[in-house]
Chain A
Amino acid sequence: MEHCKEYRTNLALRPDGDTAELSQHAATCPECAKAAKRAAAFDTVVQSAVMPMVPDDLTARLLALVPGLAQPMVRSKRWLRQRRAFFAISALLSVIGVAVLIYGLYILGSYVGVSEIWHTQ
């Protein structure tokens, strides 16, 4: 087909030069349609590989360079994990504490005869 070469050539670069005629070409040409899918798959994987995740602590390191910026705006994921663990353990200890307190009051109450007073009423 006459458009194959031009279409494939444009696939590799950004479609600056794509005309409507050319973009419709893939609809009628299975080989070029395959090539277009392959190019899209390739671009997806390569793009994520050349733009790796910024390390956890880097943002805080960079913001610390800015004079006069209130610190710290950004917490590392590790800090967030630690904080979550701290809250979880605090909550658990509170529940245990309250339970022990109630049980203690109950025992105390039975010694001083509060329950008898309640019963006589």
Chain B
Amino acid sequence: MAEPTPELIQRAQRGDPESLGALIVGQQQYIYSIAMSVLRQPEDAADLTQEACMKLLRVIGQYNGESRFTTWLYRLVVNLGRDELRRRGRRVPEMPPMSDDDGEVIDPLQSLADDDRWADPAAVATNTELQGEIRQALDSLEDHYRLALTLYYFEDLRYNDIAEILDVPLNTVKSYIRRGKERLATILASSESEKIQPPRTVAKSDVPVSQPRLARFAWALGRR
């Protein structure tokens, strides 16, 4: 359970060093994961985690219990990450509104159906090749999907917590999760097929081979 007890939070708010230390140790994995999702580089993520903890120490007194503590904290981390991207002159991920009621996506992992490596949940945990492929695919996943999926896999967070952290409507969050999984599966499936088939010769236009599959996302990608 990532959510600290109210007693621990109160002691930390009174400035008790041991409680502040326990709070930081308990949250570092989550803060670092958000930082990695936003900045993609371990050193940058470590720096952002440190910055987030410094800020936490400064503003913990302002936490008033309106949201869950973790929701409040992760929102702070996401916003710090966005500030950092702005400072570096990098694009801050947009959070395009999406609705989940179109029913278009039935099984987002359909594109992995022919890949036997995904058939056994027990075997994947030790499959380092697959883990490497996932990390690469995550790198090319759109930022809003990656961030939403990261928070989703924290498990402790409910959909409305994620909505509050990302500052988007609840339906958009569900849509990000489903479509993010679908998109990630598509990237994985296309990288796998590239390995099996020799790379095609470069077409007249410089459009990547996987582009037609992404046509549905063109509106989201077109703003880049």
Binding site for B on A (CB under 8 A): 5, 8-9, 11-14, 16, 34-35, 37-52, 54-55, 58-59, 61-63, 65-70, 73-74
- List of A residues within 8 angstroms of B214 by Cβ: none
Chain B interface residue count, CB cutoff 8 Å, equals: 56
Q: Assess the B130–A45 pair: CB atoms within 8 A.
A: yes
Shortest C-beta distance, A57 to chain B (Å), equals 8
B172 sits at the interface (CB 8 A): no
User: With the chains together, A16 CA to B113 CA distance in Å?
Assistant: 24
Q: List 30 A-B contacts (CB under 8 A).
A: A9-B103, A9-B105, A13-B177, A35-B113, A38-B119, A40-B121, A42-B109, A43-B153, A44-B124, A44-B125, A45-B124, A45-B125, A45-B134, A46-B149, A47-B153, A48-B131, A49-B135, A50-B138, A51-B29, A51-B33, A52-B32, A55-B46, A58-B32, A58-B49, A62-B28, A63-B24, A65-B54, A67-B17, A69-B18, A69-B21
Asked whether any CB of chain A lies closer than 8 Å to the CB of B25, the reply is: yes
Q: A35-B107, A42-B185 are in contact. Are A12 and B177 (CB under 8 A)?
A: yes
B186 within 8 A of A: no
Taking CB atoms, residues of chain A closer than 8 Å to B20 are 66, 69
The distance from the CB of A38 to the nearest CB of chain B, in whole angstroms, is 5
The residues of B with any CB-CB pair to A shorter than 8 Å are: 15, 17-18, 20-21, 24-25, 28-30, 32-33, 36-37, 42, 46, 49-50, 53-54, 57, 103, 105-109, 112-113, 118-121, 123-125, 127, 130-131, 134-135, 138, 146, 149-150, 152-154, 159, 174, 177-178, 181-182, 184-185
Residues of B near A34 (CB, < 8 A) are 113, 119
Chain A's closest residue to B133 (CB) is A45
CA A48 – CA B123 in complex, angstroms?
14
- Residue pair A59, B28 in contact (C-beta under 8 Å): yes
* A66 with B57: CB separation less than 8 A: yes
Known: A5-B106, A46-B184, A68-B17. A62 touches B53 (CB 8 A): yes
